[in-house]
């Protein structure tokens, strides 16, 4: 175990787990859940509708309000003119003072040197000037400033004498500005609140369905029941159908568990009897050995199918990686064709199921023993190395065989896939790497395969790192001595394996 991690982790092409996983960022696309998407669509529709109604009301209000204002101003001018014409000098002065005090209307003589500014050239100003000119005569002047004094000024004549009628400019102001803004904000706030309530009401059944589907995915069928008494008929039918589906899946899961429990007894007991009878009744040594080998292979194939059909849920606990790897290495060191170099820190802990992790390591070692033999020595050399990186632990297991064609790497973890004859010469169920991939995913990790640049296949395993308080060690269920067995040499051995 003297080889270092750097020496045993040659560059691979590709090396998929050399860096911690980062979330994939979708460029040019904003992710929204269904609630916000529904809310924004409803809000856009309501705001657009409010603005359209606002413009419609302003257009419908403009002409009547302009005519009404022009009529009021013209009536005021005509009444003022009539009152002043028919009043004597004393009554005229009193009338002018009363109009100024009570109505805020002043009548002033128009001098030839008066400087005035016409109304602003807006649609309202132009329409008002046009209407007043039509009602009061062609000499009518409408101004907003005379000799520096602001207001609504109307120039008219009384018995040929030019005069000004000064009024408050508020008579000309149309409903708008703050008034329209207040109504717009109020209507918009109420519309957005209504849109949020509607979106929540629409999306609540979908959210409940999504939660129930996740519960079914995790195997929690009891927590996946949906309300079958909802008012909406379509949602009620969906909930009833989903509940029936979940019940059937729960029954299938239960039946599968019962079936798997019975397979061990129903198949292995006859196999054990067959092996015993073969060893006792077959006289031909060669035939007996072949028959026993076939029975052993059948038993191993059953093990593979049971491992692959294992339930999805596992309980993760802190596990000492060095202890698990050492246990698996010790178990296979009686294989003369397998040489293992291990460099795993003794204080490296991961979140995993200890038995499941041992099954992963054992499967990879068996895969390397069968298909990773070096062409020149006929033995398999495996380098196992691990290191911690932030919240993850990276494990690499590399053999020094012929590797795998690059186009077949992605298919190695598929159930029952067979690669080329260089790595699949031995018989088997074709589930070893599929079991590894499925088990690592169940433990929240990532599994990937790559070819080493210097030859051989490299298995990358990434697991969550477990941080334990100082002085506390994880509990171990697998206890193996870490001493390599010294096997007696075979008669056909020429010398020790290097």
Sequential pLDDT tens for the chain (498 residues): 333 333 344 444 445 565 544 544 445 455 566 677 788 888 888 888 877 877 777 666 666 677 777 787 888 888 877 877 777 777 777 877 887 777 778 888 888 888 888 877 777 777 778 878 888 877 788 888 888 888 888 887 777 778 888 887 776 665 555 666 787 788 888 888 888 888 888 888 888 888 888 888 777 777 788 888 887 788 888 888 888 888 888 888 777 766 666 666 567 667 777 777 777 777 777 777 777 777 776 776 676 666 656 666 677 889 899 888 988 888 787 777 888 899 999 888 999 988 888 888 988 998 888 888 887 788 889 999 999 988 899 999 999 888 888 888 888 887 666 555 444 444 455 667 877 888 888 888 999 999 888 888 999 999 999 887 766 667 665 555 444 444 444 444 433 333
Alpha-carbon dihedral sign for residues 385, 387, 393, 394: negative
């Amino acid at each position: 175990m003297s080889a270092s991690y750097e020496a045993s982790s040659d560059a691979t092409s590709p090396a998929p787990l050399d860096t911690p996983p980062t979330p994939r960022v979708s460029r040019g696309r904003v992710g929204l859940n269904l609630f916000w998407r529904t809310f924004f669509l409803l809000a856009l529709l309501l705001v657009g509708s409010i603005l359209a109604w606002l413009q419609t009301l302003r257009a419908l209000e403009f002409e009547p309000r302009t005519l009404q204002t022009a009529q009021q101003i013209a009536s005021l001018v005509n009444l003022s003119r009539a009152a002043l014409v028919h009043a004597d000098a004393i009554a005229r002065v009193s009338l002018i003072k009363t109009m100024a005090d009570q109505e805020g209307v002043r009548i002033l003589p128009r001098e030839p040197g008066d400087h005035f500014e016409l109304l602003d050239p807006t649609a309202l100003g132009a329409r008002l000037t046009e209407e007043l000119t039509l009602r009061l005569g062609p000499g009518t002047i409408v101004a907003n400033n005379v000799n520096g004094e602001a207001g609504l000024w109307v120039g008219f004549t009384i018995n040929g004498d030019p005069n000004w009628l000064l009024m408050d400019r508020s008579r000309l102001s149309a409903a708008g500005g703050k008034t329209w803004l207040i109504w717009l904000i109020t209507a918009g706030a109420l519309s957005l609140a209504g849109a949020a309530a509607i979106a929540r009401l629409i999306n609540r059944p979908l959210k409940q369905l999504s939660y129930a589907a996740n519960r079914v995915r995790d195997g929690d069928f009891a927590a996946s029941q949906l309300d079958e008494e909802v008012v909406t008929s379509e949602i009620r039918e969906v909930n009833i159908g989903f509940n029936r589906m979940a019940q059937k899946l729960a029954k299938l899961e239960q039946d599968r568990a019962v079936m798997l429990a019975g397979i061990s007894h129903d198949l292995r007991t006859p196999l054990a009897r067959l092996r015993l009878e073969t060893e006792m009744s077959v006289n031909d040594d060669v035939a007996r050995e072949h028959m026993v080998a076939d029975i052993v292979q059948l038993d191993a194939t059953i093990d593979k199918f049971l491992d692959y059909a294992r339930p999805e849920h596992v309980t993760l606990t802190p596990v000492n990686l060095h202890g698990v790897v050492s246990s698996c290495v010790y178990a296979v060191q009686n294989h003369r064709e397998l040489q293992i170099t291990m460099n795993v820190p003794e204080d490296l802990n991961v979140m995993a199921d200890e038995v499941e992790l041992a099954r992963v390591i054992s499967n990879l070692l068996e895969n390397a023993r069968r298909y990773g033999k070096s062409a020149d020595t006929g033995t398999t050399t495996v380098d196992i190395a691990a290191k911690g990186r932030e919240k993850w632990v990276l494990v690499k297991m590399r053999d020094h065989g012929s590797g795998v064609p690059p186009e077949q790497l992605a298919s190695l973890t598929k159930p029952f896939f067979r690669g080329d004859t260089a790595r699949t010469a031995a018989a088997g169920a074709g589930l070893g790497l599929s079991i590894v991939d499925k088990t690592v995913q169940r433990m929240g990790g990532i599994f990937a395969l790559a070819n080493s640049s210097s030859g051989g296949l490299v298995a990358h395993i990434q697991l969550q790192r477990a941080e334990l308080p100082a002085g506390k060690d994880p509990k171990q269920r697998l206890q193996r001595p870490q001493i390599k067995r010294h096997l007696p040499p075979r008669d056909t051995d020429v010398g020790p394996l290097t």
